[in-house]
Chains A and B, each alone.
Chain A
């Protein structure tokens, strides 16, 4: 029976020769992830089982990133609960302030995920690791608790949409523009319950940062997972970050897909998703004069070094527009260090931006950049739902780091092509 990439990984992890779409399976997990918001609920559930320890102390990880460094007393209590649990269970990969970064930037950087893995995380953007050729998907806290206890999770085997990528991205266009374009095309439930599999000769022009960003937002199209075919770029990344030996699963040539969508990367323009859904994608011929109050460059979607380099290139030598607050958040400590050594932090500060320690903070309206009623932000984050970054009457416009940087400089939603004279 011909299988997709995802189906092959799921078959291998459930002791079956083959699986088909719609089948319910129990799969072995290579990694179970939680953060400071979802883990406390999981820990409470876990305790109900009366188990003394997690199934494998090396295969459970918790990252204190959402409301950490602790934003208030309640957040402090939640982080403490995670810290105590990980100490009790001798969990190897517990990341607290000082070591932590935004989980989906941190785990690949630490080499905790490799090609062929099955990963669940109590965070919807766990689908990010599909960029590494892994099956990874977001779940809730109870699934996380069950995963921590048994090392297993149940799945309905998904069917898939194949995205055949051709061509090469234009200057100042990145993975974010690609995924916003795709979500604009198929809608926020366009891939509901399904896999999004990315393949084609266009892959070779996409960096790992582009791929991680694209896979990260598969959930915004409703997908169960997004996954990239493994190539030399993937293998080099895994090797450089000390990941375990990759296992490469390639889709069978005759695998069945619900749909095949052709994406010509060279035709993609800087793209912005208007409030209040990621599917409201527009290119600059459809964007008028939209004044902004805040810019956020960071998050699990776009807080990587390549993202900061792209933003700094545009902001260098400019000043942030009057009355625009610009917040830059390197996603991990390593990215922060690298950005510092490359002089990017100086560029941001001289431009008039603030640079924060890693945190998810503003992306979900937690803290560090909350919007007032009527305010607008351009953000490199992943969701622009009602009230996502603060007041229910505020607005979030999703864009790439280059577009966010260009907008920071002009004070209105601006294409990087305009600022850079492309």
Chain B
């Protein structure tokens, strides 16, 4: 006889957010957080310009928040000091997470369906024996999901509809509806347990029909004439007179290739051969799907100790055997084949090699040119660049191979930043609308601008002589100035002198002396000998202030008497 489970995750979306927070980047910070210190979570979406609560966490619900409220209303219900996390509701992320959870549930039974938006349906027929009794199945599922960090209610019954209803409307978190008791068991549940549309629920409520028992007692034909045949079907499914089918998920098998030796071998040649063979096999497999490897897991079975696992990550999907082998080979070479301690009698070496393409991506379709595949220069260049990067990363580590990134700021020393070449590509490479291309900057920018003494005409040039590193240079050409002002919002606001003396007494704010660095006037100057330097003057309008930048580019405080200080910041090559 069929027995099924329904799982309901009443706060699935918010639990998911909290879980991500606990395990995410801020893991250390959140690690020891007790639950009561977690923020209240509201997930919202915009409807007609009004922010509306779509999902809320249990504690918010206890404060009176419900889904469908405006965010403003929800806020007014929550304690004013409550730490609140308001995020956009992302149904597609929930769907993905639910699918992952469904896959997790495959460990319970082979037939599992994701029941969007917040439930699972599991067919546990025949698995009871495995768990020594149905109540244990139910409990272990509940505990397992709970341990993953989700609030959960589980019910077992003979029909999916009945289990669905019991999971949601039973008074207990874990319910087992005995076989054949579907009709009797559900009487007191509200009619929403039939999973009918809200309009029908509302229509029945107007007639005073609010419990399942009342619906079950009604004459069927007039009921269908008024509320449509669907309601009868729902009833029949509930009591088991109509079979309900679910759409189970299928477990996804990663593409893998395996080779097992007759016995352990500690010979490099054996490992090399096995590696090459399995790689070829794996790539054959991938090519049929027109996919390339992004991540390759290598399992080495060993008799003497824990199996060894290596992982190779690629910057671009690749199915190039030569390239992949070069990466794989380098890693395999580092494997210790010698085995355990010399006095050990256990056999040493490798027993088998398994390659798993744990992440793959579609290979970009390539236009055939002159009857040959992938011969366009762009593709070739792109692919070979990827191979070079992979090789470098393999040798040096992902955090040591960097690429430039435009930071879109006027401040020269911050305009270019480095990021790991393996980090995902920025979505946007072309400048945004209204954004100017970066102005020309010297190829060599000094990490710390170097003091110089300058003879220049006031107020804005040109520079005529330059003394730098103890040498005196005549300037042969000078272009400028280019005025760059600091990003004011990073500093404290200077006191506002416009302030009208206000009659009311107010708390004065602490005004520390403004730490905003001065604006800079940049000049490109050519000194005798032809070198072009990039110098700037920090225009100091207020005397006797020492300046210090908070942006890391500290420069020497100018002498109190001078009204401006000069620096060499780079050299044009």
The answer to whether A and B come from one shared complex is no
